[in-house]
Structure 1
């Protein structure tokens, strides 16, 4: 994980990086920071390359990394497959070695198209006077672009800041639709910046972006060159639907066990366990030596729901047994007025209710309750493992302070109520500061884990959201498969860049096993009815394949818990205006 940034300007005096942005980049990469400047006279331009490294793999390797020809690489990513990286090797060095041998755009695309894993890249080719940049197929790493007020400078960065005094209109997330090539020689001569877009193979993407100034244009390459996606298109078939054998009113683990007996069902489940387990193994093994030998190296964003429970169970297989695993569980304290709402309707009980409200634990939100239940299931399955169930409690005062100080800048340039709710909940969860219960007492705990596993991608692929039920009821299987295809196609712009910026602010790396290329490839080959059956009740039919997997892994009640979004399970949504819509612009972010 790294914080990477490149400022390009037609004037060397404007080739600077704002201090606030620099500090946020350093949060992402606390292990090593380095800046390299380049001033070129013919054609005339200047570049500032700034990189901040979180060491995760192989020998520590400072960035920007430079080869013998003067080419520079800023790499924020992990190579989990496609290209060979030995245990003792650093993937940044491996990537640069491959890119240094490239003689043409097709060579560059061939290398990047082979990589399995999350990445964002900025690569300067000295002889060609060009900069390549982009994000992986799913956009699992953040990359933003912005430009100066006079349009003579251009910035690519992992994270920006609202404090620059400019609106979000001049800062955009780089769309994860392909890889981009910026011709600095042409820009220097014409003052018009034309960026070629080399798209991912089968994506039908719109390259007309809103908000760009007139002097900057992004144009799909006319060379016909594309990147080869590492995942196949989604199976859109709706013929040959196989009916489920359980009755629609039954939603117990026993019913799931009955469904597992259907011909071929257990084989499908075991294939998912194998491919998802391998994705998790790649993400939790061979981590750097621990600075705290008693601390966890791996943490899970944990609600006790089906997605995080399966991540924890499979992580338990590959994390050494002498290491704890941190289960990060966040809860927001309700205001007194909100806790007591409704009690006045029963006048004779009001006094009793007021007393009860004062005694009631104020952080026992839904995710805290299911999280504790999930902990008990995990402890039964793996009693020798030390599970640190980290209770992260957030007051409204701390939420207000940290939103203004940190979170509003990390969410930027996104700005909706949903971005605020999820961004805040995830920031506090990833920070990992709370307490762990031990016997009748508790101890303060701050997670030392650099790797944070998150369940993003499960709902999008397995029909976990309520909107999937709405679409299924209105348009049947055809509507559902279209909705799922859209979900996966837009996940980079809705979730992943924001979540990467939020989690990395703590010097930690978000890892997304459900979005591993092999996992997505497997799920994309399955017809939709193998993944979900929305004719069955909530808490059962959505993510049905995952629920069957949970039972096969030995889980119990958590296998039939209904989906509950993080902003509701943690109760952060209850702290603010309940009449807000998720898609509305959030005034709390803009006023911070």
Structure 2
């Protein structure tokens, strides 16, 4: 993974680094930093390329990488399939070689669409003087852009900097709708992007280019004149619906149990589908835990330093990732389970009720639950229970359950200094809550328990697995249940199609920026192309049965897979959003809505 940056300008003014942007880029890529400028006498513009490399596989390859033909590549990605990269090779070098052999736009598009894995790139093609850039089909790597009209300057960057006050030339996320090309010979006061869209179902290609909210002010986007499309790496979603709809009322008061899953597993058809999902997910995890820049024998048997960490709540998504990682990581290596908790606030006292009797009228007051620690939030409790299940599955593995405890003072400090810049240009209450929770979790600084004792611990794992993509594909959110009640299976299919289509702009760019700030790389097994292909092939009622109660019906196929893997109570835990499970949402204004603009980010 890397921090990449490109500045295209038609102005002769001297470029000066924004200190905050440069520091964030360098933290993303602590192993190598270098700048390279390109200007030709027959061009009216110049380009500055800057790369900051996090070494992940093969021999460290310095970037920007310039080939013998004068092409320049900035690559922030990982190749997990589609293109052959041996363990000894570096994927940046392979990508550069393959791009150099492309002689036409169609060949470049064909090659890029064949890559399986997350990526964002900027590529200067000397033959013709073109600048190409874009993100993968799901947008799993961040890429931002902005255009300064006064200086006729276009900037592309993995990460930006938040500035207080209005900014008419602010940053935007490069939409993951295709690959863009700029003809450098035609750059004047206006920059035009030629778009080569991904072949996605439901795309209105005309509206993509006319949507001025996505394109930087002062720029324009047009479809490429050849009508070329990037072949989609995943199949279209199965939109079939059952002949008859299950009219059974949802019994929310039932307590789901493992026996419910075992009864469903008795079906031979279910067993086949469950085994297929386990197989494809297992392979996705294997690709992501074995593509490492070092040999496993370099780690001594008694070390507690892990190579892989998991954002871990004890819920089904992270439990399955841990169970599958256990299959593919050598048994002497630990696995870090990163569990974040925000300090619980003091419970309301009796005086509060006396002062505001109207506010609390008709409310049933219950004593606050007794906890042994102000950090015993829901995700900490389920995380510890999940740890016990994993220890039962493999008692010989060292599972580093890292308790990451965050106070309000530290949250406010780090939001102001770092996190507000990383979440930007997103700005909602939800972005703030999840961005902060993921940043502290990924940092990996906390304590681990050894018997009755605790000791300080910092995770050294450079790879962090995250469960993003499971809820979006398997109807894990409460809004899916609402849509199902209102519109049945047809409405649920439409909702799931929308979820996967917008995941790049809602989650992935933000989380890549937040996790990358620690010099670590986010990997998303549930968004592996083969996993998405398999889930897209199944009818919706196989993946989820929302006529069943919470804890069973949503993500049903995944819950059955968890039980098949030997997991216990974690397989029937209802979905709990990270902002509530970690209790960060309780630290701030409880009257806020998730979609509100977050004043804490805007004023940081």
Instruction: Note whether the superposition's TM-score is higher than 0.5.
Output: yes
Q: For 1:151 and 1:574, how far apart are their aligned partners in 2?
A: 44
Q: For 1:463 and 1:132, how far apart are their aligned partners in 2?
A: 36
Cα offsets for 1:518-546 (capped at 9, x unmatched): 00000000000010001111111000000
1:458 aligned residue: 470
Aligned residue runs from structure 1 range 23-102, under 5 A? 23-102=23-102
1:529 aligned residue: 541
1:210 aligned residue: 212
On the 8 A contact 2:308/2:463 being kept in 1, the answer is: yes
Q: TM-score, normalised by structure 2?
A: 0.93
Aligned residue runs from structure 1 range 145-184, under 5 A? 145-150=145-150, 152-163=152-163, 167=167, 170-184=170-184
Whether 1:273 aligns to 2:278 is yes
SS at match of 1:437: strand
> Structure 1 residues 164, 11: CA separation in 2 closer, same or farther (over 3 Å shift)?
farther
Which of 543, 561, 572 is the equivalent residue of 2:584?
572
Q: Following TM superposition, by how much is the alpha carbon of 1:82 offset from its aligned partner in structure 2, in angstroms?
A: 0.5
Q: For 2:571 and 2:217, how far apart are their aligned partners in 1?
A: 53
Higher mean alpha-carbon deviation, 266-275 vs 144-153, is at 144-153
SS at match of 1:44: coil
2:318 aligned residue: 308
Whether 1:340 aligns to 2:366 is no
2:142 aligned residue: 142
On the 8 A contact 2:10/2:153 being kept in 1, the answer is: yes
Q: Following TM superposition, by how much is the alpha carbon of 1:239 offset from its aligned partner in structure 2, in angstroms?
A: 2.9
Whether 1:225 aligns to 2:235 is no
1:413 aligned residue: 425
On the 8 A contact 1:246/1:258 being kept in 2, the answer is: no
Q: For 2:65 and 2:540, how far apart are their aligned partners in 1?
A: 44
On the 8 A contact 1:244/1:259 being kept in 2, the answer is: no
Whether 1:545 aligns to 2:557 is yes
On the 8 A contact 2:248/2:547 being kept in 1, the answer is: no
On the 8 A contact 2:146/2:216 being kept in 1, the answer is: no
Gaps of 5+ in 2: 356-364
Q: Following TM superposition, by how much is the alpha carbon of 1:247 offset from its aligned partner in structure 2, in angstroms?
A: 10
SS at match of 2:411: helix
2:259 aligned residue: 254
> Structure 1 residues 319, 163: CA separation in 2 closer, same or farther (over 3 Å shift)?
same
**How many aligned positions are there?**
583
Q: Following TM superposition, by how much is the alpha carbon of 1:17 offset from its aligned partner in structure 2, in angstroms?
A: 3.1
Q: For 1:259 and 1:174, how far apart are their aligned partners in 2?
A: 43
Q: For 2:332 and 2:244, how far apart are their aligned partners in 1?
A: 46
Q: For 2:372 and 2:77, how far apart are their aligned partners in 1?
A: 45
Gaps of 5+ in 1: 348-352
On the 8 A contact 2:148/2:169 being kept in 1, the answer is: no
SS at match of 1:564: coil
> Structure 1 residues 245, 319: CA separation in 2 closer, same or farther (over 3 Å shift)?
farther
On the 8 A contact 2:249/2:547 being kept in 1, the answer is: no
2:331 aligned residue: 321
Q: For 1:454 and 1:359, how far apart are their aligned partners in 2?
A: 28
SS at match of 2:45: strand
Which of 232, 235, 240 is the equivalent residue of 1:237?
240
Q: Following TM superposition, by how much is the alpha carbon of 1:163 offset from its aligned partner in structure 2, in angstroms?
A: 3.7
SS at match of 1:427: helix
Q: For 2:541 and 2:84, how far apart are their aligned partners in 1?
A: 36
Q: For 1:358 and 1:486, how far apart are their aligned partners in 2?
A: 42
- Provide the alpha-carbon RMSD of the alignment: 2.3
2:362 aligned residue: none
Cα offsets for 1:175-198 (capped at 9, x unmatched): 00000001111114xx22111110
Q: For 2:588 and 2:529, how far apart are their aligned partners in 1?
A: 37
